[in-house]
Structure 1
Amino acid sequence: LPVGLAALRGRLAEPHLVLDLGMDWSESGGWIAPVIRAAHGLPESGGADADGLVRAGTALLLAPGHGNNEKLLIRPAGLAGPDDPAFGLVEGTAGR
């Protein structure tokens, strides 16, 4: 078990690991990307890097989704810990 946990911790700490949160909608019923963009002072559209991702802080990213909408991704290595503000933003946006 210790070896498995160490491997998992190591993988989650890799800076290139990005996970899809499966959260497309905000509590208000709109897409989540505009809320994330506004919270990080990003423009309403554009701003993607060469890899097609929009960085919203160190942990959150927006990726092309359905149609013209974006989906929310998270980079675990960018989180400062369990109290990282990204968690509060996502939790408040999703109403969970």
Structure 2
Amino acid sequence: MPSAAELQALQARLERALQGADWASFGAIDAAIREALLQLDGQPSSAALKVARQSLKRVHGEALRGCANESERLRKLLLAHLHYAEGNSAYRQVNDWQESR
């Protein structure tokens, strides 16, 4: 069963990843958090463990919002590239049509 210190270590990893925008590491950290919480499920918790769990939950919520914001940023970036590519394609088609006349 994970200790409060282990949950705090997971929280610290999550905070570092969030601060560094290390999106690639979120999957592994999230899996480790899941495993720790599964081990705690149904087990009696000390006051320190409850505090650590609540703190981890708060930071995990911040991480989820950070991931959602990054996902939205990437969606907008890809959409901008798509619009640029569509515009470029339209200009190329017009040029090709004009050159073929």
Give the shorter-chain TM-score range: under 0.3
Specify which structure has the higher proportion of helix.
Answer: 2
Larger relative contact order (Cα-Cα within 8 Å, sequence gap ≥ 6): 2
* TM-score normalised per structure 1: 0.25
The structure that has the greater radius of gyration is 2
Specify which structure has the higher proportion of strand.
Answer: 1
